[in-house]
Amino acid sequence: MLDYLRQISPALISLLIGGYWLNRFFVARGNLAALIERICDLLDHLRQDCSEYWSVPHTAEDDAEHGVLEAKIKGQVVLINSLVRLVGDKRRHIPEVVPALILDLVDACTGGDFETKGRKADKLRLMRIVSLSSKIAVELQRLKLWAGVWPDVIGWGTQKIGNLFKKILGHGDHT
Amino acid sequence: MHISIAKDFSDVPWGRFPSDGDFCGQNFRELFLVPALKNHDSVTVDLDGVEGLGSSFLDEAFGGLIRKGHASEADLGAKLTVTTSQPEYEMYLDLVRRYIRQAQEEADRELVRV
C-alpha cells in the first residue's frame, strides 16, 4: 500500500498543484470579467446622465436637477477611471488607446459649458460622448473575450522568433 | 508657493465664470494663480481633497492663463507644477497639460492670423 502511495504521490501532488493554479486562473478571469461588466454598466449610466444633461439647455427652473446631474457625471468619470486603472493592475496590460479614450471622455462629459449658467444643449458633444464610451466598452470587452490577449502573446512571440532568425542569419535585431 | 485648491480655495470647485458661483475657474485663476505666478518662481497647485473637478473649471483656470495673456506654455512649464497624491485624480494632471497646450496652440494661431 505504502509502495503504491509512493508511486502515485508525484502524480497526486502535480494534480493538486495544477488544480490549484487552474482554479486560481479561472477565478481571476471571472473576477476580471465581472469588473469589466461593472465598468460597462457605469459607462451606460454615464451615457444616460450625459444624454439627460447635454440634450437640453440650462434653465433656472432646472438648476437643482442639473446640479445633481453634474455631481453624478463628475463622480462617474472618476469611478470609471479608477476601475479601468484596476483592470490595468490586474491584467498588467490594457491597450494604450484606453487611457487616451478615457481622457477624451472626461473632456467631452465635463468640458465646454459644463456647470455654466445659460448653457445651451450640445448634441454634437453628446454624440461624441456616446461614441467614446462605446469605444471604451468595446476595448474592455475585447480584454474579457481574450481577443486582446492571444494576439499580443502571439505577436510578441513571433517578433522574438523573427529577431532570433535575423540574428542567426546575420541581419541584426531590428526591435 | 504651494496652493491647495481644497484648503485655500474650495473643496467643491464649480463652473467656469463668476456667474456660475464664487468657486469657479476664473476666480481661482485671477485670485490665486495669477498673483502666485507673478510673485513666485515656482508654484505648485495641489488637487488633493477636492470633491471632483469639472474639465470646464480646469480649462478656465489653467488654459485661461494663456488665453488672457498672463503666461505662455513655456512660462507655465518652467514655473507651474500641478500635483496630486490621489491616483484617481492623475487624469486631471493630463487634462491640465492638454488645456494649456490647446490654449497655446489657439494663441499661436491667433498670432499668425494677426
Give the type of residue at B82.
V
DSSP state of B51: S
pLDDT band at residue A1 using 50, 70 and 90 as cut-offs: confident
Total length of chain A: 175
| E strand residue ranges, chain B | 2-4, 43-46, 80-83
Please tell me the predicted confidence (pLDDT) of residue A5: 81
pLDDT band at residue B79 using 50, 70 and 90 as cut-offs: very high
Please tell me the predicted confidence (pLDDT) of residue A87: 86
Number of domains chain B is built from = 1
- In this predicted complex, what is the ipTM? 0.88
Per mean pLDDT, which range of A19-23, A88-92, A101-105, A110-114 is the poorest?
A: A88-92
Angle between helices A123-144 and A63-91 (to 10 degrees): 30
Q: What separation in angstroms does the CA of A15 have from each of A4, A20, A22, A25, A29?
A: 17, 8, 10, 15, 21
d(CA A136, CA A121): 24
Which residues of B touch chain A, with CB atoms under 8 Å apart? 14-17, 19-20, 52-57, 59, 87-89, 91, 94-95, 98
d(CA B104, CA A86): 34
Q: Is B81 helix (H, G, I), strand (E, B) or coil?
A: strand
Res. A110: pLDDT tops 70: yes
pLDDT band at residue A155 using 50, 70 and 90 as cut-offs: low
Domain that holds residue B38: 2-113
Mutate to test the interface with B, among A116, A117, A136 (most CBs of B within 10 A): A116
Q: How many Cβ pairs within 8 Å bridge chains A and B?
A: 60
d(CA B44, CA B40): 10
Res. A153: pLDDT tops 60: no
Q: Within an 8 Å CB–CB cutoff, is residue A120 touching chain B?
A: no
Domains along chain A? 2-145 (1.20.120)
Q: Within an 8 Å CB–CB cutoff, is residue A27 touching chain B?
A: no
Please tell me the predicted confidence (pLDDT) of residue A92: 59
d(CA A66, CA A45): 16
- Kindly give the pairing relationship between strand B80-83 and strand B2-4: unpaired
Residue A46 near residue A76, CB atoms below 8 Å: yes
Residue A112 near residue A70, CB atoms below 8 Å: no
Nearest to A80 by CA among A31, A33, A137: A137
Res. A157: pLDDT tops 70: no
Nearest to B32 by CA among B19, B21, B20, B46: B46
Q: Is A96 helix (H, G, I), strand (E, B) or coil?
A: coil
pLDDT digits (tens, 9 = 90+) for A25-61: 777 778 888 899 999 999 999 999 999 999 999 888 8
Q: What separation in angstroms does the CA of A74 have from each of A64, A130, B51?
A: 16, 16, 9
- Kindly give the pairing relationship between strand B43-46 and strand B80-83: parallel
Nearest to B56 by CA among A57, A112, A106, A75: A112
B-chain CB neighbours of A81 within 8 Å are: 88, 91
Q: How far is A164 from chain B (nearest CA, A)?
A: 39
pLDDT band at residue B83 using 50, 70 and 90 as cut-offs: very high
d(CA B92, CA A103): 9
Please tell me the predicted confidence (pLDDT) of residue A149: 52
Please tell me the predicted confidence (pLDDT) of residue A150: 53
Res. A101: pLDDT tops 90: yes
Q: Do B56 and A114 touch (CB under 8 A)?
A: yes
Mean pLDDT of chain B: 93
Res. B78: pLDDT tops 50: yes
Residue found by looking up cell 495673456 in the block: B69
Please tell me the predicted confidence (pLDDT) of residue A174: 46
Please tell me the predicted confidence (pLDDT) of residue A175: 40
d(CA B106, CA B46): 26
pLDDT digits (tens, 9 = 90+) for A55-84: 999 888 888 888 999 999 999 999 999 999
pLDDT band at residue A22 using 50, 70 and 90 as cut-offs: confident
